[in-house]
Amino acid sequence: MAKKRDAAARLGALKGLTEAEWAIMHVVWEQEACAAGTVQEALQDARHWAYSTVKTTMDRMVAKGLLETRTIRNLTLFSSRISRADAQRGELRQLLSRAFGGALTPLIHFLIEEEKLTPREIAELRRLVNRRGPS
């Protein structure tokens, strides 16, 4: 049963998170495990969301397999079911699929040519590619 839940969480991440889910996940990853009130307070200045909005969204994220809950007395604590890397991977795969036909090389080309990477950023890309070496 746990394997099915983990697969569902990864699938949810691969489909990409909404902007609201990203905001919540960032707080949960930092505060792991935390109550909905903690998340609402952390996002108050940037989002001005009511507690009920945050709690409802987090409950939906539990249903999607992105978060899990643990109840201690009358307090519900939320923890992530997906890693930051899995969420980023899902977001990147969506971007690649929609904008670059699923290919990574055109994305890198676009970044270098169109986004005017600094010489330092290009050097860092070279360093990462060289570190990886031929496969």
What pLDDT digit, counting tens, does each position of 41-82 carry?
999 999 999 999 999 999 999 999 999 999 999 999 999 999
pTM above 0.85, yes or no: no
Task: Give SS3 for 71.
Answer: strand
pLDDT band (50, 70, 90) for residue 5: low
What pLDDT digit, counting tens, does each position of 82-106 carry?
999 999 998 999 999 999 999 988 9
Q: Where are the domains of the chain?
A: 2-84, 103-135
Determine the topology of domain 2-84 in CATH. Arc Repressor Mutant, subunit A (1.10.10)
Nearest Cα residue to 14 out of 65, 68, 71 = 65
What value, to the nearest 5°, has the Cα angle with vertex 103 and ends 100 and 107? Answer: 60
Query: Residue 60 corresponds to which amino acid?
Result: R
Q: What's residue 26's pLDDT?
A: 97
Helices and strands: H and E segment counts in the chain:
7, 2
Q: What's residue 58's pLDDT?
A: 97
Task: Give SS3 for 65.
Answer: coil
